[in-house]
């Protein structure tokens, strides 16, 4: 079943939608793709949250010294 939903957009949002419309077969296609991408991201985040909750319950919270060492090793420019 197809349903029509009204969305109020400001000028900036309309410009963004128009920019995307040509890539996704029109405004409806762009909105549908955006909804699908948002839902996928939401599912990924929930799965990551569950994973982290399980990990913490099994191993305990992260060691602050270990986190600092990893930050230094992987995120500090040399």
Q: Where are the domains of the chain?
A: 11-75
56-66 pLDDT, tens digit each: 999 999 899 99
C-alpha triplet 73, 76, 78: angle, nearest 5°: 100
How does residue 77 score in pLDDT terms, banded at 50, 70 and 90? confident
- Integer Cα distance of 48 and 8 in angstroms: 32
- Integer Cα distance of 42 and 32 in angstroms: 15
- At 46 the three-state DSSP class reads helix
- The whole-number pLDDT of residue 69 equals 94
- The whole-number pLDDT of residue 76 equals 86
């Amino acid at each position: 079943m197809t349903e029509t939903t009204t969305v109020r957009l400001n000028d900036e949002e309309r410009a963004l939608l128009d920019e995307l419309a040509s890539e996704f077969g029109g405004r409806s296609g762009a909105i549908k793709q955006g909804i699908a991408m948002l839902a996928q991201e939401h599912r990924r985040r929930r799965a990551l949250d569950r994973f982290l909750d399980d990990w913490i319950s099994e191993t305990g919270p992260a060691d602050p010294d270990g986190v600092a060492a990893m930050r230094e090793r992987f995120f500090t420019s040399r």
